[in-house]
Amino acid sequence: MSNKETKKNILQTTDLTRVYHQGETSLAVLQNVDVAIKSGEIVALVGPSGSGKSTFLQAVGLLDQPTAGEIMIGGGNVDAMNDKQRTKIRRDKIGFVYQFHYLLPEFSAIENVVIPQMIAGISKKDAEIRAKELLETLKLSHRLEHRPARLSGGEQQRVAIARALANKPRLLLADEPTGNLDPETSETVFELLMDLVRQQGIGAIIATHNMQIADRMDRVLELKNGHILSY
């Protein structure tokens, strides 16, 4: 990837606002949030529980419609897109990793990584090659045929990371990806995630409560009172 490509914004929000209404009460979780994430950049998103981290990730991941503001992904404005177009952007350009792995229990590790590729139109043969490559990079070559129930928590989360990166997204959104793991396993999974994201050269936003992890990323965004502070 050239320096010019690396410096391009993969994600940009302008005046992003999300207000929830309950009866006569309104709660502004996000208020005029401006964020720019470059390709190849790994950014931490921090803030106390309830500060809006998940709301922000759902909005930029096109899983929730913001109340106001603009979202640009890969240089394209997604606000005017219909549901079909937004679904295509989510499938082709965005990878998601959650606190819980959400693997398909009836399928093996490699099948869980192959399936989203085949949905995107990749041949089974090519999907299996890509899946095996990712899982081997995540040190799971000995677990390819194991179903989730036979995997440890850390192994399940590594399969989830491979699945998120299977379709070669340009943006990775991770919501407390090591939150359910013990400290030692959390460290292992985080290191593998960081290494793989850097190898792929994609932009990433990783929500976390762990400031030691956050400080090891390229930049930290803090959500406070609906606003983003950057340092």
What pLDDT, on a 0 to 100 scale, did the predictor assign at position 7?
Answer: 62
Q: Domain total for the chain?
A: 1
Measuring CA to CA, how many Å separate 135 from each of 108, 109, 169? 12, 8, 16
Mean pLDDT of 9-21: 93
What pLDDT, on a 0 to 100 scale, did the predictor assign at position 80?
Answer: 81
Tell me the sheet residues that pair with 28: 19
Q: Is residue 22 part of a domain?
A: no
Distance from the Cα of residue 49 to its chain's centroid? 18
Using pLDDT thresholds of 50, 70 and 90, give the confidence band for residue 187: confident
Would the pLDDT of 5 be above 80? no
Q: Is residue 173 part of a domain?
A: yes
Distance from the Cα of residue 136 to its chain's centroid? 20
Mean pLDDT of 195-224: 90
Angle among Cα 74, 122, 96 to the nearest 5 degrees reads 45
230 vs 165: which has the higher pLDDT:
165
Least trusted range by pLDDT, from 42-46, 162-166, 188-192, 204-208: 188-192
Give 130-171 pLDDT, tens digit per residue.
999 999 999 999 999 999 999 999 999 999 999 999 999 999
Q: Is residue 221 part of a domain?
A: yes
- Within 31-165, residue ranges assigned H as helices are 53-60, 83-93, 109-119, 124-137, 153-165
Least trusted range by pLDDT, from 18-27, 29-38, 104-113: 18-27
Gap between the Cα atoms of 228 and 231, Å rounded? 10
Task: Kindly report the CATH number assigned to the domain that includes residue 192.
Answer: 3.40.50.300
Gap between the Cα atoms of 100 and 177, Å rounded? 7
What pLDDT, on a 0 to 100 scale, did the predictor assign at position 45?
Answer: 95
Tokens of 144: 């390819």
Gap between the Cα atoms of 179 and 186, Å rounded? 8
70 burial via Cβ count (<10 Å: 0-12, 13-18, 19+)? middle
Would the pLDDT of 209 be above 50? yes
Give 85-135 pLDDT, tens digit per residue.
999 999 889 999 988 889 999 999 999 999 999 999 999 999 999 999 999
Q: Would strands 9-22 and 203-207 be described as parallel, antiparallel, or unpaired?
A: unpaired
What pLDDT, on a 0 to 100 scale, did the predictor assign at position 30?
Answer: 94
Q: Is residue 181 part of a domain?
A: yes
What pLDDT, on a 0 to 100 scale, did the predictor assign at position 4?
Answer: 43
Q: Is residue 73 part of a domain?
A: no
Q: Is residue 32 part of a domain?
A: no
Entry pTM: 0.89
DSSP string, 170-227: SEEEEESTTTTS-HHHHHHHHHHHHHHHHHHT-EEEEE-S-HHHHTTSSEEEEEETTE
What pLDDT, on a 0 to 100 scale, did the predictor assign at position 2?
Answer: 41
Q: Is residue 61 part of a domain?
A: yes
Domain hosting residue 217, numbered range: 39-67+82-230
Q: Is residue 104 part of a domain?
A: yes
